[in-house]
Amino acid sequence: MLPHSIRQTLIQKSNAPHRQRFPLSVFGFFKRLFSAKKADGGSRTEEEERVYSWLYTLARSDKNLVFEYVRSTERGLSFTEAERRLNENGPNVLYEHTYPKWWHLLWSALFHPFNIILIFLSSLSFITDDIGNGCIMLTLVFISVSLRFCQEYSSSKAAMKLSEFLRCPIKVQRCAGRFVQQELVVQVDQRDIVPGDIVIFEPGDLFPGDVRLLSSKNLVVSQSSLTGESWTTDKTADVRESLSTPLLDLKNICFMGTNVVSGSGTGLVISTGSNTYMNTMFSKIGKKKPPDEFEYGLRWIFYVLVAIMLVVVTVIFVADYSTSDDLSNSIIFAISVASALTPQMLPLIINTCLAKGAFAMARDRCIVKSLASIRHMGSMDILCIDKTGTLTMNRAIMVNHFDSQGIMQEKVLRFAFLNSYFKTDQKYPLDDAILAFVYSNGFRFQPSKWTKIDEIPFDFIRRRVSVIIETESPSEDRQSQLFGRFMVTKGALEEVLRVCSFIENFYNNEVSKFSSDDYNRILALAEGLSNEGLRIIGVAIKKLEMQTGETSIGGSKTSEENVETDMVFLGVITFYDPPKDSAEQALWRLAEKGVKAKVLTGDSLSLAMRVCREVGIRTTHVITGPELDQLDQETFHETVKRATVLARLTPIQKLRVVESLQTIGNHVVGFLGDGINDSLALDAANVSISVDSGVAIAKDMADIILLEKDLNVLVAGVEHGRLTFGNTMKYIKTSVIANIGGVLSLLIATLMLKFEPLTSRQLLTQNFLYSVGQIAIPWDKMEEDYEKTPKKWAERGLPMFILWNNPVCTLCDVGALLFIYFYYKAFGDQKFCHSAWFIEGLLMQTLIIHLVRTEKIPFVQDVASWPVICSSVVISAIGIALPFTPIGKVMGLTSLPLSYFGFLVVLFLVYFTIGQVVKRLYILVYKRWL
């Protein structure tokens, strides 16, 4: 027995509520803004260690001791005790998250740096009587908040769907009686099961909690909900496990959410609800992901703009007020400068870029649920994929037919074909594969000459199927080995060998006794074929006496037990799930774009390795889930970094692999999965991808749903993602340089001119025209070289980009100011200065995109797309023409001499020349531009 303190530690239920508090304090808000804590992907949580320890303790203990651990009896719990435990432990459901209320999510969506900027801008617009601009800003806030609120509200409910498939009535043994205790079998709702209950299960039943088996009869369990493998596993009560056995391979433990395929038995419930192994998986779903580098970058821009705004706007206000002595006008001018400093179209440009990418992917038969995933696709540098249905066709193809020596024999194929041809109970994919192989390779086995007598259908206890057939051959063929009545059996190799007493030796054409050497040789052959990634079934026959009237297996003369015995082993049939023709090409194209593929599968290592070799994935570094469990934290991370094939993984191991790549490897990880066992990894991945044929929870977790299981669609998605990222960065870098440079120029001009270089109305009009012109950026093109590598937000990229390029912009503005001063002597003419500065500033902000958008020489080596060209021409034309129109007169602008426009041509030629030199030096130092 365990000491009382240890037992209590193992079974103690965590009572700490996980609540999301309403963020009322400013401190809490800024704490969330700066929060950047990362999870360690290689270590188990305290809860997981507690569950593992408890399960291993019960698996290693004798059945009598198990009752003591859970404080139960062989009769089961009384109704009173069961009710008491239910009140104490709560309902038997997976970990019940305290889901945030809708107003919590709405508050969280509203208080985001993006929206703070927009709200601030709208306030400034209303203060400066720019009602239209203010309404536009508030509309953008409404759209942004609504989208984020709807997305987070729906994703927070996704985990609730996991418990739906667990609700069912359970047969439970309870004891009742005041004086004489009697054992009763009652049906109890799954939610009302408590630790200590004795459950009775049959084929089709779900296990309502983690169960220690008490008795079992031919028990076969499916653990696909936990492992993702379609294979079943045998369970037995008559065994005591060791610590070296992988958790999911424990024979005497059945886990919550798994189901009985065949057999029956009884078991003691040892864990329910949040203490089960399944809860350690699904309690992780729905947790908020840390912001990515792009979001951190946007926050950095927010902080920088606020800091510059506080400094520059204050200086401009003081300088303007000291010369004009007009307090209200100085305040309005300072607010207008603050509005001009902020990239007003940033939310619109980002959302437009993402929406454009989503429409493009929709044409490639992709449904994009999360717009941000488009950008993540462009940054993705590792794609984790499951083998089944993604790299392979997800169907069996017959490969070969061997005898016990590993030599191809037609007789093995003939009887396997006859078995598949005549069985009627249920056709399996392997039967179709055998029939297709025979027909496509020209074999003529003439099934019309055979008559089916009876059939013993497949079941998960015997794991084999048998048919009784006889020939209708003419009398001259009666001496042939193919004449007579035969029992033909095929199925799992171990089960077929179990009923064989003889073996056919094809090399000397005789049948001999089945020996231990034959058994070992066949197992060695099977192991070699399995290591090549092949699936194997055995084939055996038995010649029966042709007696009149014996036509039924279920009759009195014959039964399953005495017919499926003393059979002759013929050989094995091998099958393979071939890779898709498009898989190798798609993986090669992804590798060209810097995206490495890792296979994370629940299937066997040998099968995964064979598929990977055929599609071009290196298999020099491979590992299995049980081996990963034995590694320490540091070795775990290093192994995950190097491995390309990780097989026999549990859902939690898939999650840890993804988290390790994200946190320790600093990778942007995509995960492609379609099963319940993939939901954890899908929820954690930067880009989660599923298919339309996947289970509901996988599609709920996914950001992108493929309507075709084709990796080439993902290649197109990567290209769209990088185009989206590139165009977004164009706007961010252009707007930050133009806005900061323009505001610094305004500061210098204010100090030099001793009056406002532009009125508030002129400044807002200039900013509005420039902002409208940038709407065309999402339709710009990218250079071919840009799409060849993953794109991430460079942590120091934007600050250095500003420091290198801002002075060029400000220098040209100051040059225009000096030209106005020395050539036109117009510092006393405010209208002339306003008009000249208005046109120069607007042209500078409009044309700067052409310098920033490409590494090459603008207009010479590379030309922007026609929407960007048209936008620049239209906005420039409006700006130049405005001072000559009645609207310009109302705004306080005046016409300018032709010589000034000639100067502007020279000025911008100088700007583009200096800017291109700075660009080449920047690329030489930092090896990148955008």
Q: In 21-101, which residue ranges form alpha helices assigned H by DSSP? A: 26-34, 46-59, 63-70, 79-89
Query: What is the spatial distance between Cα 217 and Cα 523, in angstroms, rounded to a whole number?
Result: 26
* Structure confidence at residue 160 (pLDDT): 45
End-to-end Cα separation, the chain, in angstroms: 65
The DSSP output letter for 245 is S
Which CA distances in Å does 353 have to 356, 544, 787? Answer: 5, 74, 16
Residue 386 among the catalytic residues: yes
Q: What is the pLDDT of residues 619-675, one digit of tens each?
A: 889 999 889 888 888 899 999 999 999 988 888 888 889 989 988 888 899 998 877
The DSSP output letter for 858 is B
* Structure confidence at residue 869 (pLDDT): 93
* Structure confidence at residue 319 (pLDDT): 78
Query: What is the spatial distance between Cα 191 and Cα 273, in angstroms, rounded to a whole number?
Result: 9
* Structure confidence at residue 623 (pLDDT): 92
416-445 exposure pattern, b = at least 16 Cβ within 10 A, e = fewer: bbbbbbbbeeeeeebbebbbebbeeeeeeb
Query: What is the spatial distance between Cα 592 and Cα 589, in angstroms, rounded to a whole number?
Result: 5
* Structure confidence at residue 12 (pLDDT): 37
The DSSP output letter for 243 is T
* pTM over cut 0.95: no
Segment 22-31 long-range contacts (CB within 8 Å, at least 24 positions apart): 22/103, 22/104, 22/107, 23/107, 23/108, 23/111, 29/111
Q: What is the pLDDT of residues 147-184, one digit of tens each?
A: 556 645 554 454 344 444 445 688 999 887 665 567 78
Handedness of CA 828, 829, 834, 840 (dihedral sign): negative
Phi-psi region of 161 (alpha: psi -120 to 50; beta: other; left: phi over 0): alpha
**Given the DSSP bridges, would you call strands 210-222 and 259-271 parallel, antiparallel or unpaired?**
antiparallel
* Structure confidence at residue 299 (pLDDT): 75
* Structure confidence at residue 283 (pLDDT): 64
Query: What is the spatial distance between Cα 423 and Cα 431, in angstroms, rounded to a whole number?
Result: 9
Using DSSP's 3-state secondary structure scheme, residue 534 falls into: coil
* Structure confidence at residue 412 (pLDDT): 94
Taking 50 as the pLDDT cut, the residues of the chain under it are 1-39, 97-99, 151, 155-156, 158-166, 475-479, 548-551, 554-558
* Structure confidence at residue 253 (pLDDT): 93
Using DSSP's 3-state secondary structure scheme, residue 369 falls into: coil
* Structure confidence at residue 666 (pLDDT): 85
* Structure confidence at residue 586 (pLDDT): 87
Residues facing 575 on adjacent strands: 398, 535
Using DSSP's 3-state secondary structure scheme, residue 861 falls into: coil
Out of 130, 386, 431, 518, the active site residue is: 386
